[in-house]
């Protein structure tokens, strides 16, 4: 069984969510830390810068591909360096304020934390969706297998059983008419059960027990009581 893959629209939705949530969350975080940014033009430039940053990180796929702890640490620091580089350019050339390394580093850590959290959330959500699809496929496969097995059992019981039962009934009519009546009633119950429940996936336990008792009676009579079947419920 192959693992279902996410479609192109799903990947597009993930990237749009990452860009939108990352841009707004990081911009608000920077505005809270750096209260020098208050004009509309500065806020607009900040949003543009954060959008470009998260666009780069989306193409880099920083935290979505890690497997080992060492790989995760490496990708985290790579993401931090990209963030610091973009923030440095933003503050050095676009925003009319004094460049502050300490503040830029603090903003870089905060923005990288936001980006990492979003990647973890997307990765967890993707894995959860894949696991749910896999469980659904397994459940459908098991159900189909059970239906096939049930059909095979029905086909096996129909042809041979009816001919043997008629032969036994013919013999009982001459030898023991009372037992022949019981046999006929039980045989009717068995085939009534088969006909009315052939299209059902589930039947009640009481119906199953009744069918088993009737079928056991037919087998005992057919084999001249050489077969003894007891029920313990």
| CA 223 from centre of chain | 51
pLDDT at position 124 is 75
Global pTM reads 0.45
Confidence of residue 5 (pLDDT cuts 50, 70, 90): very low
pLDDT at position 8 is 55
Q: Does a structural domain hold residue 203? A: yes
Same domain membership, residue 81 and residue 12: yes
Mean pLDDT over 125-144 rounds to 83
SS (H, E, C) the chain: CCCCCCCHHHHHHHHHHHHHHHHHHHHHHHHHHCCCCCCHHHHHHHHHHHHHHHHHHHHHCCCCCCCCHHHHHHHHHHHHHHHHHHHHHHHHHHCCCCCCHHHHHHHHHHHHHHHHHHHHHHHHHHHHHHHHHHHHHHHHHHHHHHHHHHHHHHHHHHHHHHHHHHHHHHHHHHHCHHHHHHHHHHHHHHHHHHHHHCCCCCCCHHHHHHHHHHHHHHHHHHCCCCCCCCCCC
Supply the mean pLDDT for the chain.
75
Confidence of residue 199 (pLDDT cuts 50, 70, 90): low
pLDDT tens digits, residue range 141-179?
Answer: 888 877 776 676 666 566 677 777 788 888 888 788 888
pLDDT tens digits, residue range 72-105?
Answer: 677 777 778 888 888 888 777 776 666 677 777 8
196: containing domain: 176-222
The most confident of the ranges 42-46, 54-58, 198-202, 210-214 is: 210-214
Same domain membership, residue 17 and residue 71: yes
Same domain membership, residue 12 and residue 122: yes
What angle, 0 to 180 degrees and rounded to 10, lies between the N-to-C axes of helices 101-175 and 8-33? 140
Whether 132 shows a pLDDT value over 80: the answer reads yes
pLDDT at position 225 is 67
d(CA 17, CA 126): 13
pLDDT at position 194 is 75
Q: Does a structural domain hold residue 66? A: yes
Q: Does a structural domain hold residue 130? A: yes
Same domain membership, residue 131 and residue 53: yes
Whether 11 shows a pLDDT value over 70: the answer reads no
- Count of domains in the chain? 2
Percent share of the chain, pLDDT over 70: 78
Q: Does a structural domain hold residue 159? A: no
Residue 103 contacts residue 35 (beta carbons within 8 Å):
no
pLDDT tens digits, residue range 25-79?
Answer: 888 888 887 777 667 777 787 888 888 888 787 776 654 454 556 666 777 777 7
Whether 4 shows a pLDDT value over 70: the answer reads no
Cβ neighbour number for residue 120 with a 10 Å cutoff? 13
d(CA 106, CA 32): 12
Residue 22 contacts residue 57 (beta carbons within 8 Å):
yes
Q: Does a structural domain hold residue 170? A: no
pLDDT at position 218 is 83
Percent share of the chain, pLDDT over 90: 0
Q: Does a structural domain hold residue 39? A: yes
Contacts for 212 with CB less than 8 Å, ≥ 6 apart: 231
d(CA 187, CA 216): 11
d(CA 8, CA 6): 7
pLDDT at position 1 is 42
Whether 191 shows a pLDDT value over 70: the answer reads yes
Same domain membership, residue 130 and residue 183: no
Q: If we measure between CA atoms, which residue out of 189, 193, 194 comes closest to residue 158?
A: 194
Same domain membership, residue 128 and residue 33: yes
């Amino acid at each position: 069984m192959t693992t279902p893959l996410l479609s192109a629209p799903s990947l597009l939705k993930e990237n749009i969510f990452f860009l939108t949530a990352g841009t707004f969350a990081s911009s608000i975080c920077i505005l809270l830390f750096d209260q020098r940014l208050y004009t509309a033009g500065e806020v607009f430039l900040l949003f543009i810068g954060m959008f470009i940053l998260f666009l780069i990180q989306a193409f880099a796929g920083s935290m979505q591909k890690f497997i080992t702890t060492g790989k995760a640490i490496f990708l985290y620091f790579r993401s931090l360096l990209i963030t610091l580089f973009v923030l440095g350019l933003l503050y050095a050339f676009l925003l009319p304020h004094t460049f502050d390394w300490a503040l830029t580093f603090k903003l870089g850590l905060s923005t990288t934390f936001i980006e990492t959290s979003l990647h973890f959330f997307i990765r967890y959500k993707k894995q959860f969706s894949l696991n749910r699809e896999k469980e659904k496929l397994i459940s459908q496969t098991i159900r189909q297998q059970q239906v096939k097995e049930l059909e095979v059992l029905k086909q096996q019981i129909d042809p041979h059983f009816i001919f043997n039962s008629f032969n036994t009934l013919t013999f009982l009519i001459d030898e023991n008419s009372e037992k022949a009546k019981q046999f006929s009633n039980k045989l009717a119950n068995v085939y009534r059960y088969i006909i009315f429940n052939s299209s059902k996936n589930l039947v009640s336990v009481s119906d199953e027990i009744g069918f088993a008792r009737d079928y056991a009676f037919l087998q005992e009579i057919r084999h001249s009581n050489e077969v003894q079947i007891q029920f313990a419920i």
